[in-house]
Structure 1
Amino acid sequence: MGKIDHQLLPKVKDVFFERIDELGIDRAFFKIIDRDNFEEYTDANPAFCIYIGQRTDASFLDEAIVNKLVKDATLLLPLIDEDLSEFNNLVPKSIQKYNGLSLLDLSQDVAIEKIVNNSLEAFNLLKSKRRAFVSYKRSDSSGVAIQLYEYLEQHNFDVFLDTHSIRKSEPFQDELLQRMIDSDVIVLLSTENYLESEWTQKELSEANLASIGLVQVVWPEYNVIQGAQLSEIYKLEASDFINDDFRNVNAKLNDGSLLKIVQFTEALRARTLASRQDKLISTFMHYAQKSEVTATLSSHKFIELDRSGKKSIVVPAIGIPKALNCEESEALIQKIYEEKEILGEIFILYDEIHIRDIWLRHLNWLNKHLPVKTKEIGKVSEWLAI
């Protein structure tokens, strides 16, 4: 492992399985394979590899195994404990074009968070593209909002910022709320006048209703906004700002503070996805009970439905379903239920609140052409009563 803490991988495994437990998935579906039991590896199953880069004399450690994984198109995350400029000197040629992760300036907790999130994404348990929404008062914090937009984008987030993300021809408020609901996490810039705006109040209210996680970045001398659920607080000091200037609308944060906010955002994002899924499931189960329909929550957090002998599977989705979600859901369910006959249809369940009519029409069109259908949570009661 070179200079990387020898306890890192055991801790990564522990946190990974904690997340698996939170998602309601049986640990038995996963197997840890290393060089000592690599003969158990098969390309027939999805896999994710963590490779710790180091050189041994003129060769690379486990190069033959790495080459095999690359040939099989297995997802692989190279880790190094040096600057990324040394990356090609520490990993085999076959993965030198991969996106690696330098642990040089990361705390162990942050490193574990990043590694575990990557592994969950590899198994389609988290979205591969991190979606963040920046909520702010233009007259207070435009400078920092633009900074965060650019910095989060550099760290592989798909960021929504009203001045950068809505085309001039789009209905502004409708598009803003839809993008917020389709985000994984919100970065809220808590400044003196934040709650004076009707729209920022509405954003906060809707975020709470949708159980979206909030990273609340609180300006010096100002208080935390009360009533923000699922919220992580990052309190700024004057020293976090360039020249200690935080009262200027165009004030800027220093790089160290920006990095800490990104780390807060990434950590909260993973936790709140599970919370939003749970809320969707509990609402559906409530409707099923009222309609006297047999609904069973499986260990995979799919809902097995039996309506007078007509069976189907309901898959809860976070955000707006896409055609790719339909394909992935069908493939995953067929894999899990391979020893059983799947009866009935597969439905993707989603919350339609604030999804624009143009998207709802698109989803209805997909329902006419795809075997996997989408179903709005707001219409579930009516659907189950049929």
Structure 2
Amino acid sequence: MGEIEHKILPKIKESFFSKIDELSISRTFFKLIDRDNFEEYTDANPAFCIYFGQKPKSNFLDEELIESLVKDATLLLPVIDEDLSEFNSLVPEKLQNYNGLSFAGMGIDLAIEKVVNNVLEAFNLLKAKRRVFVSYKRNDSSGVAIQLYEYLEQHNFDVFLDTHSIRKSEPFQDELWQRMIDSDVVVLLSTENYLESEWTQQELTNANLASIGLVQVVWPEFTVVQGAQLSEVLKLEASDFINNIFQNVNAKLTDDSLEKIVKFTEALRVRTLASRQDKLISTFMRYAEKSNVIATLSSHKFIELDKKGEKSIVVPAIGIPKALNCEESQMLIKAIYQDKLDKVFILYDEIHIRDIWLRHLNWLNKHLPVKTQEIGKVAEWLSR
């Protein structure tokens, strides 16, 4: 076992199963396979391989195993602890055309978060897009908000910031609410005057209504914003700011502080996605019970529906459904149920989704075999 593998592999395993627990998925659905029990591997099941690169003494480890995985088109993530410019010297030739991850200059906790989230996304347990909404008071923290927007974008987040993310021709407030609902996490910059704005109060209220997780970044000498349901709190010290200056609209954070915010944001994504999915599921199940429709929650967190002898699957979606969601859902369900179904539906919460997008979803319903269904109209749909 190489040095990097020995150092972080146990922590990756621990973090992965911790997040699986938070998603309420049984650990028995997953098997850990390494070089010692590779005979248990089969290409009949979805798999994800992490390869720890190292400088070879003569030959790379496990090249025969890697060849088998590449042949089966298994998802592979090579990781190294040096700069990516050294990538080809640290991994076997068959992995050199794969996108790798470098831990160089990255905190160990953040590195583990990135690896684990890659695995969860590969198994369709997390959305591939990391969408973040920055909520702040312009007169208090514009400098940090812009700095955070740029830093998160550099770390592969899709970030919404009001001054940067809405085109001039768009209806500002409608687009803002839709982008919030389609986000995984809200990063709230808790400053002295945050709650004095009507708009920031509404952002907090709407985040709570949609069960979106909040990372509260609290300025020195100020208190935590009350009323946030799913919340992680990161209290800043003066030393977290460049030159210890924080009572200034143009104040900036240090790189270490920005990395801490990224870590908090990564960690909260799993919790908030699980919470929003559970809220959709429980609401649907209540409607089904009232309508005397047989609805069963499967181990994959799909809802198996028996409506007057018609067998369907309802897939809870977080955020706004898109054509790609429909295609992925159809392929996954086809593999699981082998065409023994009448219909597939994607369930979503339509609150704050703009009319133009709802019309687009209606158009998709006319042209795709997978249909979308609004949670607000489920009672009427089930009673037909």
The TM-score normalised by the length of structure 2 is 0.94
Larger mean Cα displacement after TM superposition, 284-293 or 137-146? 284-293
| Equivalence map 1:211-290=2 (5 Å) | 211-290=211-290
Superposition RMSD in Å:
1.9
Aligned with 1:36: secondary structure?
coil
Provide the residue aligned with 1:195 in structure 2. Answer: 195
How far apart are residue 26 of structure 1 and its match? 4.1
Aligned with 2:327: secondary structure?
helix
Provide the residue aligned with 2:93 in structure 1. Answer: 93
Provide the residue aligned with 1:132 in structure 2. Answer: 132
How far apart are residue 164 of structure 1 and its match? 0.9
| Equivalence map 1:165-204=2 (5 Å) | 165-204=165-204
Alpha carbons 1:26, 1:300 under 8 Å: kept: no
Larger mean Cα displacement after TM superposition, 179-188 or 108-117? 108-117
Distance 1:319 1:119 in 2: 21
Provide the residue aligned with 1:364 in structure 2. Answer: 362
How far apart are residue 222 of structure 1 and its match? 1.1
Provide the residue aligned with 2:20 in structure 1. Answer: 20
How far apart are residue 13 of structure 1 and its match? 2.7
Distance 1:21 1:362 in 2: 36
Aligned with 1:141: secondary structure?
helix
Provide the residue aligned with 2:163 in structure 1. Answer: 163
* Alignment match of 1:382 (pick from 351, 364, 380): 380
How far apart are residue 97 of structure 1 and its match? 4.5
Provide the residue aligned with 1:300 in structure 2. Answer: 300
**What are the superposed Cα offsets for residues 92-140 of structure 1, whole Å, 9 maximum, x if unpaired?**
2333343333345555544333222110111111111211111111111
Aligned with 2:332: secondary structure?
helix
Gap change, CA 1:22 and 1:335, over 3 Å in 2 = farther
Gap change, CA 1:5 and 1:66, over 3 Å in 2 = closer
Q: Does 1:77 align with 2:85?
A: no
Alpha carbons 1:132, 1:158 under 8 Å: kept: yes
How far apart are residue 59 of structure 1 and its match? 2.4
**What are the superposed Cα offsets for residues 187-208 of structure 1, whole Å, 9 maximum, x if unpaired?**
1111111111111111100000
Larger mean Cα displacement after TM superposition, 37-46 or 293-302? 37-46
Provide the residue aligned with 2:327 in structure 1. Answer: 327
Gap change, CA 1:237 and 1:97, over 3 Å in 2 = farther
Unaligned runs of 5+ in 2: none
Provide the residue aligned with 1:353 in structure 2. Answer: 351
How far apart are residue 28 of structure 1 and its match? 4.0
Aligned with 1:180: secondary structure?
helix
How far apart are residue 85 of structure 1 and its match? 4.3
Amino acid at match of 2:352: H
Aligned with 2:250: secondary structure?
coil
Amino acid at match of 2:382: L
Tell me which stretches of 4 or more aligned residues in structure 1 moved more than 6 Å.
none
Distance 2:38 2:129 in 1: 30
Amino acid at match of 2:362: N
Aligned with 1:170: secondary structure?
coil
Larger mean Cα displacement after TM superposition, 184-193 or 291-300? 291-300
Distance 1:24 1:370 in 2: 31
Provide the residue aligned with 2:63 in structure 1. Answer: 63
Alpha carbons 1:23, 1:300 under 8 Å: kept: no
**What are the superposed Cα offsets for residues 287-308 of structure 1, whole Å, 9 maximum, x if unpaired?**
1122222211111111111222
How far apart are residue 218 of structure 1 and its match? 0.7
Distance 1:241 1:349 in 2: 43
Provide the residue aligned with 1:210 in structure 2. Answer: 210
Distance 1:241 1:26 in 2: 42
Gap change, CA 1:271 and 1:11, over 3 Å in 2 = same
Provide the residue aligned with 2:122 in structure 1. Answer: 122
Provide the residue aligned with 1:344 in structure 2. Answer: 342
Provide the residue aligned with 1:41 in structure 2. Answer: 41
Alpha carbons 2:22, 2:270 under 8 Å: kept: no
Amino acid at match of 2:378: V
Distance 1:349 1:33 in 2: 35
